Amino acid sequence: MTRPLVTILDDEPEIRTLLAEVLEEAGFDTLSFGRARAFEAALATHTPDVCLVDLSLPDTDGLTLVHRLALEQGAIVIIISGRAQVQDRVTGLELGADDYIIKPFDPAEVVARIRARLRSPKPASQTGNVAAFNGWTAHFDRYTLEDDTGAETPFSHAEGEVLRLFLDAPKRLISRAQMQTSLGGVASESFDRAMDVRISRLRTKLREDPKNPQLIKTIYGAGYIFLGDVTWS
């Protein structure tokens, strides 16, 4: 039984040791870092299940780090911060953090919130940036789609967001509302047709027959289903 790996990124040594102790006791493996640089270096060799991040770091802006971790790496990110303003919490959560805990915190609550996040884990994308499906290979690090002959076509950031959403939940219905909230979009009052356009462009790059799409299927009045057989690596 492998234990979930939790990384701790905080510049105060006492907090690091306190958290590490409690989390080890609670059944997690931990890795502690005082600097963002060391933490990011460790990401090359480790794939944490949960990242605890303090926003007040000496060598980076914490929020950009959170944003990159959450959106690009798809990791579960929990902010632990002394900044207690509501606005701080809201922007932290909107940038992709999964939870926001205020210092001083109770260790038991930290454990409970980590467990709550791990109950419905984010799938797949934690393990890699390359996914293969039905003759295609998507390279999210390079923003390119490779077909079965090896030819590559680039895709944009917006297209990649939609594609990742599909590849993380293949063969399941994804409602438009889910997509909107997943992609950080504020559900605008005016009909948001942007999603349709994104999907339309993605379909073109996947060379879907508009009359009979094989990969991205529209369920009228309900959402979309991605039908590929996905393997992440």
Interface with DNA by CB under 7 A: which residues? 1-2, 154, 156-159, 176, 185, 188, 190-194, 196-200, 203-204, 210-211, 218-223
Does residue 61 interact with a copy of itself by CB under 8 A? Answer: no
C-beta atoms surrounding 2 within 10 Å = 6
User: From CA 112, how far away is CA 90, in angstroms rounded?
Assistant: 21
* 38, 171, 204, 207: residue in contact with a copy of itself (rule CB under 8 A): 171
Which pairs from 60-65 meet CB under 8 Å and 24+ separation? 60/36, 62/36, 63/91, 63/92, 63/95, 65/36, 65/40
- Give me 125's structure tokens: 């994308």
Of 12-20, 59-67, 185-193, 201-209, which part binds a copy of itself (CB under 8 A)? 185-193
- Using rule CB under 8 A, residue 206 touches a copy of itself: no
Q: Does 189 bind a copy of itself (CB under 8 A)?
A: yes
- Residue 142 interface partner, choices DNA, a copy of itself, none, CB cut-off 5-8 Å depending on type: a copy of itself
**Backbone φ, ψ for residue 6 (5° rounding):** -115, 130
**Please, which residue, 116 or 222, has the CB nearer to DNA?**
222
- Beta-strand relationship, 136-139 and 216-219: unpaired
Sheet containing 230-232: give its strands across.
152-154, 144-146, 136-139, 130-133, 230-232
State both tokens at 74: 């798809």
Q: Which partner in DNA, a copy of itself, none is near 137 (CB below 5 to 8 A by kind)?
A: none
**Interface characters, 68-97, with a copy of itself (x: CB under 8 A):** ------------------xx-xx--xx-xx
Give residues 106-135 in contact with a copy of itself (rule: CB under 8 A).
106, 108-109, 111-113, 115-116, 118-124, 129
Between 11 and 124, CB nearer to a copy of itself? 124
- List 144's β-bridge partners, or say none: 139, 154
Binding partner at 58 among DNA, a copy of itself, none, C-beta below 5 to 8 Å by kind = none
Sign of the torsion angle spanned by Cα atoms 37, 90, 75, 201? negative
- The Cα–Cα gap between 154 and 142 comes to 8
Task: Report what 159 binds from DNA, a copy of itself, none; CB cut-off 5-8 Å by kind.
Answer: DNA
Near a copy of itself by CB under 8 A: residue from 149, 191, 210, 233: 191
